[in-house]
Each structure stands twice: as C-alpha cells, then as structure tokens.
C-alpha cells in the first residue's frame, strides 16, 4: 500500500515517436570511445524514459538489437514498435547506402508497381508489394506501419533523383494495414507530404509541417498557403506528432546553456555528458560548413542560431493554430534525433517537448491528453493504456504538483508505478 496523501495520480505517459537505437549527439567521427559510450547510453536510456514518467514508448523504425537491449534492462518502459519503416527501393533512403547495403538494412522494402527501377539483388517484385510487406511487419510484431514522404528539400545542393511514394501506393498500404487492425504513419515535413497524408487517409503524420519551400529561416510570419493547409488538416481532425524536439535538437548546438542544465545529469551518464561538452562540440562546425549558408549568408554562428530560433518559434505558433482549429496532437519526441545536435536525451526530451507546447500556448489539458489517452487511442492501445480504469495496465505516476496546473509539474514525479510495482523516481536517475 502506498500513501499518496496530497499527491496527484495519473496514468503513465506515452511517447509515440522514439528511436531507441540512436544516441543523442553520439558520432563515431568525434570519439575513439564510441562503443563504450553507446553501451552506457543504451543501459541508462530505459531508466531515463521512466524518470520522466514515460512508461510506454513506440519505436517507429526498429532495430532488433537495440529493442532487445532495451527490453533486457531490469527496469524499462513497455516498448512497442512499427518494425523497419516501409521504404521504396528507389526512394530517398536508398541514397544513404552503397551498392548492396540498402537491401541488407531494409530487406522488407516496397517496390512501386510499374517501376522500371530494378529491385536490389534481383529480388522478385511480388515479394515487395503492400500486402507482402505489411504482412511481414505485423508477423514480426509490429504494432504500426510507417511510410516516408521525404522530399529532402534540406539536402545541400539538392538531392540526387529519387522516387516519392504515389498516392495509390500509400492507399494500398493503408488498406492492408487497416484490414489487419494497425495504424499507418507517414513521415512528412513539407506541404506536399502533409497533403498526401490527407488524401491517402493515413492515420498519423509523423512530424509537423516545418519545411516551407521558398521561405527563409528569418521569416517569422506564416505564409497564407501554409496557414490554409494547416487549417484544412485541423478541420479534418488529422492526427499529427509535432516532434518539436526534432528541430530544437539542431538549435541545441547554438544554445550554450543547454548542456549546462542540471536536468541532464539525471538522464545521461557522466562520461557521456563529458563527451557532449567536449569532443562532440565539433558537430557545430561541421553543421555550419554543410548547412550554415543555407540558413544565413556567411554562416555566422550567431546569425544562424538566431534564425533557427525564428524557425522554431514560427513552427510552434503553427502547431498552436492547428490545435486551436481542432487538429489532434500526439506527444512524440523523435528521441533520439539522428542528425546534428544533442538536444533529445531520453525522457527529458519528453518534458522539453511538453514545455515547448505550453510555451506556444497549447492548453495543459491538451498536452496531458496527447501524452496519455490520445496516444493510446491513436495506436489502438486504449483498452490497456491512457486512463486509470479497472483492467488496464497499472502503469501510473504520482506527482507532488498538479500537471494540469503547471507544465513544470512534470518534473515533480515522486513515484513511477510500472506494472503495479512502485519505483522511487530517484532510483532511476
């Protein structure tokens, strides 16, 4: 029996967009101690999610090795996954791999009907249809299906030619997945991608509309066409994971105070923090060399940082507009973001995501629901998670302060109850 006098009881939180195989800010090129740091990170990450109340997380592009390590931890959130994301064999992901590497990384790829692009290794296209690939994912334990509409507008100098998925192909994936009772997510950050999500009937858009073609980073106002699209999505009650931390992760390189936050010491090992504060700092110069001139002429670090702040703020205002118009928000963080930066540590990233929502003016009740029942309903888990009811999993949190009164209350968790077993929060630090 727990004495919860004077405390606030809530369901456990759900982060519906994580990548447990990524480690925030860790790159081989900046350290000779990569393996040791990676193992330290993997060992602590499950506890870090729990430390901030995330008793369930959903991996959207699963690595079997990382999933196994996560689930082997003595204390870990419930981990659900979408399996490997469904990617086209001549889509953007193909550009990241040398000959033969793509099929090894994504053996369950999609092949577009009528494509004149040969399948990798001469595979039979009949094995790479929506029916075959979705079935294979579900048989492997996937609780969701993730597709990609990545236009790579950010690619320096423009990306080489690649195929985007046709609406008919996405619709076929949605049809097969829905027949088997699982939701479909579409990775999209552009107007074309978000329009595609609406037309093709996907359940959830993974990421918000932050790429505005032809609009510089210094522009604070939302163009009329972008506002109209967001209003259309909101009117359709589209579900969106804004993942504000994805782009705040980049800005973390230009925020000297971020790595000094005492909150980091609860979620990252000391040696790992030393790496981020030391060798990892070279990432900033690499980023400026590759992308700085796209953001600000001359790539001046101060100007780049200021423009990234404008970019983030305008996006957060757009998400507020979406929410006000009836759009449905789901709490997902993209932890740990795989690009440049170190701003998405496990668990803490969830709190920082919530804080960004609150600073944008999104109501605390909306934030709470997005991290509990709304996430549960979107992924068909509301018979198990999202509310406190008889028969549901006993994943619960006890807070000192009321999270419906102050966003900072999410830092006042006293006890995490996982599967009915109480864990003192400090034991997770």
Query: Strand pairing of 54-59 and 13-18?
Result: parallel
If one compares 209 and 338, the residue with the highest pLDDT of the two is 209
User: What does the pLDDT read at residue 162?
Assistant: 87
CATH number at 15-83+182-393: 3.20.20
Across the chain, mean pLDDT equals 96
Low-confidence winner among 110-124, 180-194, 316-330, 415-429 (lowest mean pLDDT): 110-124
What's the pLDDT tens digit per position in 25-81?
A: 999 999 999 999 999 999 999 999 999 999 999 999 998 989 999 999 999 999 999
User: What does the pLDDT read at residue 158?
Assistant: 66
Contact status, residue 96 vs residue 61, Cβ threshold 8 Å: no
Contact status, residue 140 vs residue 86, Cβ threshold 8 Å: no
What's the pLDDT tens digit per position in 265-276?
A: 999 999 999 999
User: What does the pLDDT read at residue 178?
Assistant: 99
User: What does the pLDDT read at residue 115?
Assistant: 86
DSSP structure class, residue 12:
P
User: What does the pLDDT read at residue 105?
Assistant: 85
Coil, strand, or helix at residue 11?
strand
- Cα–chain-centroid distance for residue 426? 26
User: What does the pLDDT read at residue 395?
Assistant: 99
Percent of the chain with pLDDT over 90: 89
Residues 6+ apart with CB under 8 A from 374: 328, 329, 330, 331, 386
What average pLDDT does this structure show over 288-306? Answer: 96
Query: What does the alpha-carbon distance between residue 218 and residue 197 come to, in Å, rounded to a whole number?
Result: 28
Q: Which tokens in the block code for residue 19?
A: 């990548």
Residue 85 pLDDT grade (very low, low, confident, very high; cuts 50, 70, 90)? very high
Residues 6+ apart with CB under 8 A from 240: 204, 205, 207, 208, 233, 319, 322, 327, 328, 329, 330
Coil, strand, or helix at residue 325?
coil
User: What does the pLDDT read at residue 355?
Assistant: 99
Query: What does the alpha-carbon distance between residue 115 and residue 199 come to, in Å, rounded to a whole number?
Result: 22
User: What does the pLDDT read at residue 159?
Assistant: 65
Query: What does the alpha-carbon distance between residue 184 and residue 239 come to, in Å, rounded to a whole number?
Result: 11
13, with CB counted inside 10 A (0-12, 13-18, 19+), is buried
Query: What does the alpha-carbon distance between residue 120 and residue 162 come to, in Å, rounded to a whole number?
Result: 15
Q: Which tokens in the block code for residue 257?
A: 């105070």
Q: Closest by alpha carbon to 335, among 48, 1, 13?
A: 48
What's the pLDDT tens digit per position in 139-190?
A: 999 999 999 999 987 776 666 678 999 999 999 999 999 999 999 999 999 9
Residue 96 pLDDT grade (very low, low, confident, very high; cuts 50, 70, 90)? confident
The domain segmentation of the chain, as residue ranges, is: 15-83+182-393
Unique residue bearing structure tokens 């008889």: 390
């Amino acid at each position: 029996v727990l004495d919860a006098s004077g405390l606030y009881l809530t369901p456990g939180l759900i982060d519906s967009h994580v990548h447990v195989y990524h480690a925030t800010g860790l790159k081989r090129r900046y350290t000779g101690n990569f393996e040791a740091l990676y193992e330290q990170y993997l060992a602590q990450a499950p506890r870090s999610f729990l430390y901030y109340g995330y008793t369930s997380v959903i991996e959207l592009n699963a690595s079997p090795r990382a999933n196994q390590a996560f689930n082997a931890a003595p204390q870990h959130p419930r981990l659900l996954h979408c399996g490997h994301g469904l990617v086209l064999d001549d889509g953007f992901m193909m550009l990241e791999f040398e000959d033969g590497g793509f099929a090894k990384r994504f053996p369950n790829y999609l092949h577009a009907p009528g494509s004149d692009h040969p399948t990798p290794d001469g595979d039979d296209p009949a094995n790479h249809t929506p029916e075959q690939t979705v079935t294979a994912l579900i048989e492997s334990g996937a609780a969701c299906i993730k597709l990609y509409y990545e236009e790579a507008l950010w690619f320096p100098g423009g990306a080489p030619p690649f195929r985007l998925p046709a609406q008919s192909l996405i619709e076929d994936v949605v049809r097969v997945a829905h027949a088997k009772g699982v939701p479909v997510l579409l990775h999209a950050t552009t107007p074309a991608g978000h329009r595609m999500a609406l037309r093709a009937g996907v359940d959830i858009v993974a990421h918000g509309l932050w790429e505005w073609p032809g609009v510089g980073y210094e522009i604070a106002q939302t163009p009329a066409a972008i506002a109209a699209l967001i209003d259309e999505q909101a009117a359709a009650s589209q579900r969106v994971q804004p993942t504000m931390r994805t782009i705040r992760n980049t800005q973390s390189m230009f925020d000297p105070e971020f790595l000094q936050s005492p909150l980091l010491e609860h979620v990252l090992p000391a040696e790992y923090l030393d790496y981020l504060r030391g060798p990892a700092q070279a990432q900033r110069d690499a980023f400026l060399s590759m992308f700085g001139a796209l953001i600000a002429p001359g790539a001046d670090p101060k100007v780049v940082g200021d423009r990234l702040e404008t970019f983030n703020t305008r996006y957060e205002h757009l998400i507020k507009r979406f929410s006000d118009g009836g759009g449905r928000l789901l709490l997902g963080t993209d932890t740990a973001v795989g690009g440049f930066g170190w701003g998405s540590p496990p668990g803490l990233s969830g709190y920082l995501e919530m804080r960004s929502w609150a600073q944008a003016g999104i109501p605390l009740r909306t934030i709470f629901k997005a991290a509990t029942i709304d996430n549960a309903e979107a992924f068909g888990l509301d018979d198990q998670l999202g509310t406190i009811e008889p028969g549901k999993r006993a994943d619960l949190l006890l807070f000192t302060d009321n999270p419906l009164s102050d966003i900072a209350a999410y830092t006042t968790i006293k006890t995490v109850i996982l599967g009915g077993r109480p864990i003192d929060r400090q034991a997770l630090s």
